[in-house]
Structure 1
Amino acid sequence: MLRRLLATGALVASALVVPAVTAAPVGAVTLSSATSSTAASCYKQVGNHWNCITPGAFCPKAAHNRYGYAKVTKKRYKCTYKSSDPYWRWRRAY
């Protein structure tokens, strides 16, 4: 009796599990490798400053204490180090 009850419970539980969607829904937008490589190529050093940086992101060693301009807002940021956050990051420069 207990075995039958457990088997029935397992069948009911498996029927309640939502199946995973393997195909993209109609109208879904996917990023191609060409689009992502274009966005990645935007981040570059131009003279003493950097273009297309992402605020709050880690910055490379070559950018330490340098300025950069955000990709979207075009605001100025500086690659700085703080003792409370021991990583070099792009932080807002006023």
Structure 2
Amino acid sequence: MMTTAAGATSYYLPWNLSVNVAEGSTTFRCMTANDKSELPKLGGPAARALADAGIASISDVRRYSLDDIAHLHGVGPKAVRLLQQALDKEDP
């Protein structure tokens, strides 16, 4: 456990997952050392669904099938299409 200067508390857990608790809200962020690829700009419901599932980058998306991601509440066909385009763009 670590407390930041802003007063947030970070708990470091296995699976490279960091949980931050500040002022009654909890946010989850998957942290990977070498991953710099960001998700495409998605609508709020899709972005929240991915964040709740621990998906914060394109490499996180690669761990799941797009069909599995499409079944998350809030992820629609447009979000799946944007994720597929981002995956295609990352692959040479």
The answer to whether TM tops 0.5 is no
Q: TM-score range, shorter-chain basis?
A: under 0.3
Normalised to the residue count of structure 2, the TM-score between the two structures is: 0.28
Quick check: which one's helix share is greater? 2
* Structure whose CA Rg is larger: 1
Normalised to the residue count of structure 1, the TM-score between the two structures is: 0.28
